[in-house]
Amino acid sequence: MRPIGQLATKEQAQTFADYLYVHDIEVQLEPGKDGGQVLWVVDEDRVDEARGLLSRFRSMPDAEEFYQASQAAAERRREEKKEVNHEKKKLKRPGAVAWQMKRGGLTMVLMVGSILVALLTGFGQNAEWTRWFFISSRFATDLAHFWEALPEVAGGQVWRLFTPIFLHFHLWHLVFNLLWLKDLGGVMEQRIGTWRYAGAVAVVALVSNLAQFILGGPAFGGMSGVVYGVFGYLWVRNRLDFRFGVILSPVASGLLMVFLAVGVFGLLRPTANAAHFTGLLAGGVLGWAAAALNKRTERP
């Protein structure tokens, strides 16, 4: 966020702010030392454009286009408020999805499922149960024929493409993943809705599981690929769509990147690095696609 200048009165500043608003440039007003109003542009990529429009406004502040923009901005804000209220009503509507549990329902299901599978498999010590959650019992010899190494999936056990995310082989791994899933996944589910969230989780799980299988073999598990996918979605979506309204803590982002690097350098136990990186990439692509689609639907 950067300042682009100052206007003498609050009325002028608000008129110009409305003008920028209808041009999709977010601006914030701050009282100046001499009684004027300082204009701060949120998106630094549009600072130069906003400065040019400010010069134009100063040269002819009484032009009709600026006051028409104020009316258009007021109407646009009313419509946006209606949409927000409509979305809130949909979230509060009882019985819309029985298992949604109002908010964060699927995130809770994923967390409980991970705990139950960890107990059932004895954190991977019970080989008989653990093998039912592995993606396959074979290794992929090469990328071109990896599908041949998935005979169980080909035979109808399609769940194996997704169930490795529920496997955890150490208590710290389970706790780490569930804490991040609760925070990041819960936010994402509330923001985009349970069904879209479910689709995103399924895509990220599928991509990260297949990548880890091809590069590392079938003996892997963990929710961390999904966690990195959710993080990638939120980070990219927020960067491209400022109205998305999800701000990630720099500390949280930094910690996730540190653990990603720790896994790459092998400072922990064997880590599913392929699942982490491809999950992050898949989530980022989904976030980019969602932001692009949202901008397209907002165009008049």
Do 2-92 and 101-298 agree at the fold level? no
pLDDT at 110: 96
CATH top class, domain 2-92: alpha beta
Residue ranges of the domains in the chain? Answer: 2-92, 101-298
Look at the block and give the residue holding tokens 């032009």.
63
The tens digit of pLDDT for each residue in 230-270 reads 999 999 998 888 778 787 878 888 888 888 888 776 666 66
pLDDT at 299: 52
Look at the block and give the residue holding tokens 């880890």.
212
pLDDT at 142: 64
How many CB atoms neighbour CB 55 within 10 A? 11
Q: What is the amino acid identity at position 236? A: V
pLDDT at 97: 38
Q: CA 18 to CA 76: how far, in whole Å? A: 10
Q: Which residues of the chain have pLDDT under 50?
A: 91-102
pLDDT at 104: 66
pLDDT at 98: 37
pLDDT at 143: 65
Q: CA 270 to CA 94: how far, in whole Å? A: 45
DSSP string, the chain: -EEEEEESSHHHHHHHHHHHHHTT--EEEEE-TTS-EEEEES-GGGHHHHHHHHHHHHH-TT-HHHHHHHHHHHHHHHHHHHHHHHHHHHHH-TTSSGGGTTTTHHHHHHHHHHHHHHHHTTTTT-HHHHTTTSS-SS----GGGGGGG-HHHHTT-GGGGTGGGG--SSHHHHHHHHHHIIIIIHHHHHHH-HHHHHHHHHHHHHHHHHHHHHHH-S----SHHHHHHHHHHHHHHHHH-GGG-----HHHHHHHHHHHHHHHTT-SSS--HHHHHHHHHHHHHHHHHHHHHHHHHH--
What homologous superfamily is domain 101-298 in, according to CATH? Rhomboid-like (1.20.1540.10)
